[in-house]
Structure formats: C-alpha cells, structure tokens
Structure 1
Amino acid sequence: MRADYLIAALASGAMVAAVPTKGKPNPPKAVDTTNPWVGKVPFVNPEWTGKLSTTYKNFLKQFDVKHAMRTLQVKQISTFVWISRLSELSRIDDAIAEARRVQKKTGKKQIVGLVLYNLPDRDCSAGESAGEFKSEENGFNRYKEEFVKPYAEKLAAAPDLTFAVVLEPDSLGNLVTNLNIPLCAGAADIYREGVAHAISSLQYDHVHLYIDAAHGGWLGWNDNLPLAAAEFAEVLRIANSDGTTPKKIRGFATNVSNYNPFNAKVRENYTEWSNSWDESNYATSLAPHLEAAGLPAHFIVDQGRVHLPGARKEWGEWCNVAPSGLGPRPTTNTNNTVVDALVWIKPGGESDGECGYPGAPRAGAWHDEYIQQLIKNADPSVYKLF
C-alpha cells in the first residue's frame, strides 16, 4: 500500500487536488465522547504472534539469545487484524473467538483493532496492494454486498466486545492529492461512496470508526490540511444523505503502514517546510480544520514501524524502509489531547511490496529478515516488562 506524495509540488503549494463540490458538508451531530481505548486491553492477534515463532527460532539459530527473548516480549503486543479480501473475512470470526476467550479468562474488557480495506480500484496511485474488486466489473455492488455487509454482521453479533475499525487506508488521501492520476480520478466517487457506505453500515455502540487520514508527510502540508478536512466532511455528508439517524465516527487514523515517528527525536531535513514534521504535530495541525468542518478531532497513530534517523531522504520513500524499528508500545499515554492512542496497525514483518529492502516479497507476505531488524532497533518501551 502506498501513495504518490508529490512532495515537491506540495512543498511549493502547487496542488493537484480539487475540493469536493457535491453540496455543502453536513457532518453528523452524534459523535463518540469517550476514548474507547481507556480501560480496555488491546487484542493480541495470535495469527501474527504465530509468525513470530519463526523469528524466535531464527534468532536462536544465530545464537542471538538476547533478541530471541525480546521476540517473546513482542509476541505479547497488540496489532490490528487486516481484512482486505473476501477470503479474509473469516479472520474476524477468529479474532472474536480469541478475544472472547481472553476476556472470559482475564475478566478484562478487550478492544479488537480491525482494518477494513477492499475498495474497488484500491491503491489507485501505486498498485502494490491492488485489491480484488474492479469498478467496471460490478465491483461497487460486490464491495457492499459481499464484503461490507458480512463484515458488519459479524461485528454486530459481538456486542460483548469493543472494536476499533480503520476504514480504507490511502483512499481519501489519494483524492486530496492524486486526482491527476487517471485511475484515482476515475475511482473518486466510488472511494467516497464506499467509505460512506462502510460508515453507515457500522453504526453500533461497541464499534468505533477511524477514517484513514494518511500521514503528516502527505496531507500535513498547510495547503493540504483544509482540503483533507473538506474531503472527509464530504464523505460524512454522503453517509448522512439518507436523512436518518446521524452517523458517527470516532475520528481518524494516521501513519497507517508508514514509518513516521509520533515524537521525532531528530527533525529530518525533508520536513523543513512542514509544520507536520512528526505525527503528533500532524494531528495537532489537522485538528482545528476537522473541528471547523464539524468533524471529531480524535486520532489513533500507527507506530508499528518507525524509521531510524537518516533512513530515508524524503517522505516519498514508503516501502520496507530500513533501518527501522518497532515503534513505541501501544498506549493511551500520548501527551497529546487529540490523540486517543498509539497503536500498531501494520503488523511488523508483513512486507509493503517487492520494493525497498533487498529481497522483499510481495505486499503482505511475511519477511522474517525485516522483522528481525525491527526487533533489533525497537523503541525501548517495547521491552519494558509489566
């Protein structure tokens, strides 16, 4: 999954996007008022931790006992479950069953992080994570009936759990900056209507929705911030166009599958002209534009992978960036009032595509050599024992 960031154009203020023109935004009145992450235990996905068993064994084969033991600690950390194809809908059932088991055993309320990611003509600016639906092949109806409908039904049937759902990474960000790409321009209406449909379909009190808001290096430029807020407001207007009960979202997810630090220890040279030079600053920069559009200014920030200082020369380097490390352990202690939680949305070790790191496999495939370097370079909080 990626985006064509057009960094030079954005830095100079030369925009390629247009503000949606389909009527005045009419965002919902109903919003979530309580941080859903507080007082709950984030779900640990056994599918991901099972893959780390290979990493553990590989460290032992290298006689690296230190990082083998640290891998066992990483296996205790929550990651989101990605649902990006019809064949992966069963992952929801597996996550629900496991979360219920843990919740019953521990007596502690679970919050399950999920990603909903299967729009028609997905990943319009790159294709590394192109999806299974095509708009010219009845893709939108299939998306609604075969993907979103069963997705929603599964969550509706589990009111004993809490869910945090990230909606369609990269999609709306592409509509803010990449409408010069024919596939993105052609997919614009389907992206807006698809995300709006997902919002409308997931209106349950135990489900908290976060629209993907790209990251600070993409939408965080001063000229892009109001355009992003307008795009998000347009999607909420579409979701509410049926005139029924107002549709609510909790907020927005940033840095999904990217490498930006939440609090940068070193300010990289390529961030010089941006106030959104790390993800905390991006959330703070975007928040007033969201509020002005009538949208909730609440964020979760993906810190599953964070690049080390000097690892890249521009924000546009997005694929299997190295050297990188696992980011801060998921927490609600963010020191930023608009940020609900730091989370690990992209599971470390799953490749971004056949690019970046030498020998990287296709997008989503397991890359054990890469997760090994993430573990070696991890934020110190990852190995703090509780």
Structure 2
Amino acid sequence: MRAATALIAAVSAAGAVSALPADDASSLILHPKPTKPTKPSKPSKDVNPFEGKVHYVNPVWADKLDQTYNSFIKQKDFANAKRVRKVQAVSTFVWVSRLSELANIDGAIATARKEQRRTGKKQIIGLVLYNLPDRDCSAGESAGELDSTQNGLQRYKDEFLKPYVAKVSAAPDLEFAIVLEPDSLGNLVTNMAVPLCARAAPIYTEGIAHAIAALQQDNVHLYIDAAHGGWLGWADNLPLAAAEFAKAVNRAKEISGTNATTVRGFSTNVSNYNPFNATVRENYTEWSPSWDESHYATSLAPFLEAQGLPAHFLVDQGRVHAPGARKEWGEWCNVSPAGFGQVPTTKTENPYVDSLVWIKPGGESDGQCGFAGAPKAGAWHDEYAQHLTKNAHPSVDKNNSVRKDGMARSRAVQL
C-alpha cells in the first residue's frame, strides 16, 4: 500500500534540508525532544476506546523480528538485539488484506482472549480492513485481488466483509479498533484524473459504506482512513476530504436504515513516515497548515465537525523519518533514514487524538523502491527492520515490556 499521492505537489516547496546519513543517524538526531503544539479547543466529551486497555501485541509480526534479532547477534550488536526484544513487545495492528488472511482475525482473537484471561486486563485488538476492488488505484504497489469489472464489489461484500463481520461479532468479550481501507477515499479527493481511480470511485464509497453499516457492534470502533497531512492536509483539500468522508458515512446510513450509523473517527499516516510532532519543519511543508500529523488532525477536525462527523483520530507512528530524509512528501517508499516511532500512547497533548499507534508493521516492505534491495510490497525486509531498530524512538528503550524466550507476550504498557 502506498501512502502518498501524485498530486500533492501542487504547492511548490523551497529547497529541501539535506538528508542525514542513512545508517548513522542516531536516535537523538532522528527523534529530538518535540516542542508541544498549541492546544486546540477540546472536542465534546466522550469515551476514548483506548483508555485503560492493553493494546494487542501481534505475535505473528513479532515472530518475523526474530530474524532481525539473530542478525544483530551475528554482528555482535547486543544493544540493538536487546532493542529488538523491546520492539517485539510493542502493539501493532493485524492486517486483513486478502480473502486468505481472514484467518488472521481468528488468531488475534484466540491470543487476545488468552492474554485477557491471564492478566485480567481488557484487550483492544487493532485490525486493518483492506481489500477493496481496484485497490491502490493510483500506484499499484499493493494492488489487491478483487477487480470491479469481475464482480469485485459483490465478492467484497459476500466473501470478505460478511466473514470479517461474523468473526468480530462472535467475540463480544473483546474490543476492536478497525481501520477502514487505507488510501482509498484519499484517492477520490485528488486522483480522479487517474483512469483506474475514476472507475473505482463509486466502488470505494459503496464498499466502505457497507463495511461501516455492517460493523456497528458495541465492541467495534471504526476509523475511516484519512491519508496523511501531506496528502489531504492542504487548505484546499481539507473541506473536500471531509465531504468525501461524509458521503461514505451517509451512504452507510442509507444502507443500515438508521441515522445512528457512524464511525468513531479517522486514521492518519498509515504506512507513511510523518512525525506526529515535527521537531523540524521541512521546507516542502511551507504552505501547509498540516505540517505534521498533530497539526493535520487539528486542521481537519473543524471540517469533519461541519459535516456532522466525529473528530477523533488514530495516528500511525510505526515508522517515522528523520529530519531531511525526504525532498518532498511524495517520497513514500521505504524512506530512510527512519526509525520505529513513538510507542502507542493516549498521552498526545492533542485532545482530538485518541491514540498514537503502530498500524503499519515495520520491516514489511512498501515495494521495490526506496531503501536499497527492498523486495515487493508486504515482503519482509530484514535490512530495513535493522535500520528502523537502530534509529528507534527513545520510548522503545523505555518500554518495560520485553519479548523473552522467543515467545510473544501481550505485556504492553496499559494505555
């Protein structure tokens, strides 16, 4: 999946900051102490679903990092090997991106239930729902398995959504935060000149609307993907984005037959590298009110509220670039230098943000681009996982949870 758009360069940027050395950037340079953003007015009071819960740690992703751990051991780099064990204990979302991956939900439920019984603490499982027909219409690095010209929408509803909903509905003892179709509606805001996106537009809206309507369970918290600040955060795009999101939610109300149909909020920066609080304002952000993801949430919020939508956000910080790593926002593929970002937390200093989270599993390639030797999208890239580990945010080292004896345990700090 790509997390950028071909058209965000409509606003010209001044010369870029010089990039840091790809493998030598220290965590202090990569993640210097952030400055606090100006606090926006607090939205209406309601319950943040992440407060007081343990966010599910995905052992399937953690197992992949055993290769990274062993790589550091062979290099006699014991400090980073130790850091990998801490990374493995950080919560990440479980992606369901193909029909064959529906079983990922079953594994997550079984593991979360075991941990919930063991600890007595409520688990919230992060899931990504990502299999629209004509997926990734403007890039193709993560093109999906369903084709709208081959009965793709009906297959999406019958073969993907229906079992997805059934599995989640059968686990009322757990809670779920579900991110809906990364990048999809963002393409409808900016990339309608791309033929495949123009063809996919009604399919995207209808598919997401059916997902919203079908997932109105009490234990489910839905977040429509809202791309990122470098894509939809420009002043002209903000109202257009909110209108596109409202269109999908309103269609979901028509499908369900009730105005009570809604979502919890929106996800941003999925699979991208934008910092939540930028310590250096990049030159290419000069004319944008959304120059980091905290500012994007604050900028988009009033337009969402004007459309009758809830202004709550999840912000992906699974991977964050170093200052100067990119010359423009359009560089989205295996960016370097970059590191694992701030560990998940609800303490964000921005009342619109429910939680910082790790949605994109670090170490899985964005595609055969960017970092040298990168494999196809979704394949494991151990060299890049090592790179992210070396440049990890200091909060990773402060994480008290550690994977031991090769066993993934959901001992993440309670959010």
TM tier, shorter chain? over 0.9
2:260 is the counterpart of 1:259:
no
Task: Name 2:220's counterpart in structure 1.
Answer: 207
Deviating beyond 4 angstroms after TM superposition, the runs of 4 or more aligned structure 1 residues are none
SS at match of 2:266: strand
Check conservation: 1:161, 1:206, Cα contact below 8 A: yes
- Cα deviation for residue 310 of structure 1 reads 0.8
- Cα deviation for residue 385 of structure 1 reads 3.7
Instruction: Give the partner amino acid of 1:235.
Output: A
Of the candidates 353, 369, 372, which is equivalent to residue 358 of structure 1? 372
Check conservation: 2:12, 2:284, Cα contact below 8 A: no
Check conservation: 1:32, 1:248, Cα contact below 8 A: no
Quick one: distance in 1 between partners of 2:126 and 2:50?
10
Quick one: distance in 2 between partners of 1:246 and 1:151?
21
- Cα deviation for residue 121 of structure 1 reads 0.3
Quick one: distance in 2 between partners of 1:214 and 1:122?
14
Task: Name 2:8's counterpart in structure 1.
Answer: 7
Of the candidates 361, 368, 372, which is equivalent to residue 386 of structure 2? 372
- Cα deviation for residue 244 of structure 1 reads 3.0
Task: Name 1:248's counterpart in structure 2.
Answer: 262
2:197 is the counterpart of 1:184:
yes
Instruction: Give the partner amino acid of 1:196.
Output: A
Quick one: distance in 1 between partners of 2:142 and 2:12?
27
SS at match of 1:359: coil
- Cα deviation for residue 5 of structure 1 reads 3.4
Determine what percentage of the aligned residue pairs are the same residue: 70
- Cα deviation for residue 169 of structure 1 reads 0.3
- With over 3 angstroms needed to count, the CA separation of the structure-2 counterparts of 1:213 and 1:355, relative to structure 1, is same
Quick one: distance in 2 between partners of 1:358 and 1:372?
13
SS at match of 2:149: helix
Quick one: distance in 1 between partners of 2:370 and 2:45?
39
2:82 is the counterpart of 1:74:
no
Check conservation: 2:11, 2:287, Cα contact below 8 A: no
- With over 3 angstroms needed to count, the CA separation of the structure-2 counterparts of 1:126 and 1:385, relative to structure 1, is closer
2:210 is the counterpart of 1:197:
yes
Task: Name 1:123's counterpart in structure 2.
Answer: 136
The count of corresponding residues between Structure 1 and Structure 2 is 368
2:283 is the counterpart of 1:238:
no
Check conservation: 2:368, 2:374, Cα contact below 8 A: yes
Instruction: Give the partner amino acid of 1:38.
Output: E
Quick one: distance in 1 between partners of 2:245 and 2:330?
23
Instruction: Give the partner amino acid of 2:80.
Output: H
SS at match of 2:128: strand
SS at match of 1:89: helix
Check conservation: 1:32, 1:249, Cα contact below 8 A: no
- With over 3 angstroms needed to count, the CA separation of the structure-2 counterparts of 1:368 and 1:337, relative to structure 1, is same
Task: Name 1:83's counterpart in structure 2.
Answer: 96
- Cα deviation for residue 358 of structure 1 reads 1.0
Quick one: distance in 2 between partners of 1:352 and 1:344?
15
Give RMSD over aligned pairs: 1.3
Of the candidates 31, 46, 50, which is equivalent to residue 59 of structure 2? 46
Instruction: Give the partner amino acid of 1:183.
Output: L
Quick one: distance in 2 between partners of 1:276 and 1:291?
17
Instruction: Give the partner amino acid of 1:273.
Output: W
Quick one: distance in 1 between partners of 2:251 and 2:262?
12
Check conservation: 1:43, 1:99, Cα contact below 8 A: yes
Superposition pairs for residues 7-26 of structure 1, below 5 Å? 7-10=8-11
Q: In the TM superposition, what whole-angstrom CA distance separates every residue of 1:4-63 from its partner, at most 9, and x where no partner exists?
A: 331232569xxxxxxxxxxxxxxxxxx993100000000000000001111111000001
Of the candidates 323, 332, 344, which is equivalent to residue 337 of structure 2? 323
Of the candidates 285, 293, 316, which is equivalent to residue 302 of structure 1? 316
Check conservation: 2:9, 2:330, Cα contact below 8 A: no
Check conservation: 2:48, 2:354, Cα contact below 8 A: yes
TM-score by length of 1: 0.94
2:149 is the counterpart of 1:148:
no
Check conservation: 1:56, 1:71, Cα contact below 8 A: yes
Task: Name 2:187's counterpart in structure 1.
Answer: 174
Instruction: Give the partner amino acid of 1:4.
Output: T
2:328 is the counterpart of 1:314:
yes
TM-score by length of 2: 0.87
Of the candidates 92, 99, 120, which is equivalent to residue 112 of structure 2? 99
Task: Name 1:275's counterpart in structure 2.
Answer: 289
SS at match of 2:254: coil
Instruction: Give the partner amino acid of 1:357.
Output: F
Quick one: distance in 1 between partners of 2:218 and 2:258?
16
Of the candidates 134, 152, 155, which is equivalent to residue 139 of structure 1? 152
User: Which 5+ residue runs of structure 1 have no aligned equivalent?
Assistant: 13-30
Instruction: Give the partner amino acid of 1:197.
Output: H
